[in-house]
Chains A and B, each alone.
Chain A
Amino acid sequence: NAGVTQTPKFQVLKTGQSMTLQCAQDMNHEYMSWYRQDPGMGLRLIHYSVGAGITDQGEVPNGYNVSRSTTEDFPLRLLSAAPSQTSVYFCASTRGQGNTIYFGEGSWLTVV
């Protein structure tokens, strides 16, 4: 089972560049989310979605954009990359509110 798949695994960007982190899940989960993980700060929620066409902001949404056109995909866009966005990004999905959450393997992003 593929589960939650994230691409790319590693990326280096220059300040001001834009890019999209891809996330796909094959479990037909309605709920998907993006987190970033930084040393000493744990995981913080960026954006989340409760279904196709529905997205909402999390704890640290500034500088990021999302859309959910299909159940399977939930891409995260960096509009104008900044060094403060250097982090590890995780996509997650779940069947429902009381269910186990599944994470992708992460995308390591460095902004120089």
Chain B
Amino acid sequence: KQEVTQIPAALSVPEGENLVLNCSFTDSAIYNLQWFRQDPGKGLTSLLLIQSSQREQTSGRLNASLDKSSGRSTLYIAASQPGDSATYLCAVRRTTDSWGKLQFGAGTQVVVTP
């Protein structure tokens, strides 16, 4: 069974500091990995999708890396802003699972203070 872990569970940083969020998974045979953002009382918004053949993906201030061999992905958010405050979740799909069977981490709750 795929286990997905996100550490730390919560993080508070001052505005302008770079954010580093970690996601680890136990089964390296993955199809892809996605990072999501969830605001309180809202659904999940996809931030970045990394296919298993890729090492990283970038979108604006966001950069996500993937190291399958070590079972790790890292989401970097440069120059954090108060609007980045949210819970960030990673989700992994194994190669042996159908498309809908994503395994989610419990998330990292981020607070960016002005």
Contacts and interface: CB of A to CB of B under 8 A. Distances in A.
A45 B100 contact: yes
B106 A48 contact: no
For this complex, into which size category does the number of interface residues on chain A fall?
20 to 34
Interface stretch (B13-21, B45-53, B64-72, B77-85): B45-53
B34 to A, nearest CB: 7
A100 B100 contact: no
B102 interface: yes
Interface string B39-57: 0011111100101000000
A64 interface: no
B46 A101 contact: yes
Contacts of A59: 101
B43 A100 contact: no
Interface of B is mostly: strand
B71 to A, nearest CB: 17
Q: Which of A99, A102, A103 is the most central at the interface, judged by chain B CB atoms within 10 Å of its CB? A: A103
A97 interface: yes
A55 B32 CA distance: 22
Interface of A: 4, 31, 33, 40-45, 48-50, 56, 58-59, 90, 92, 94, 96-106
27 contacts: A4-B43, A33-B100, A41-B106, A42-B4, A42-B105, A43-B91, A43-B104, A44-B104, A45-B100, A48-B99, A48-B100, A48-B101, A49-B100, A50-B98, A56-B98, A92-B100, A94-B99, A96-B99, A98-B49, A100-B46, A102-B46, A103-B43, A103-B44, A103-B45, A103-B46, A106-B42, A106-B43
The 3 closest A-B pairs by CB, nearest first: A48-B100, A103-B43, A97-B99
Interface of B: 4, 31-32, 34, 36, 41-46, 49, 51, 89, 91, 98-102, 104-107
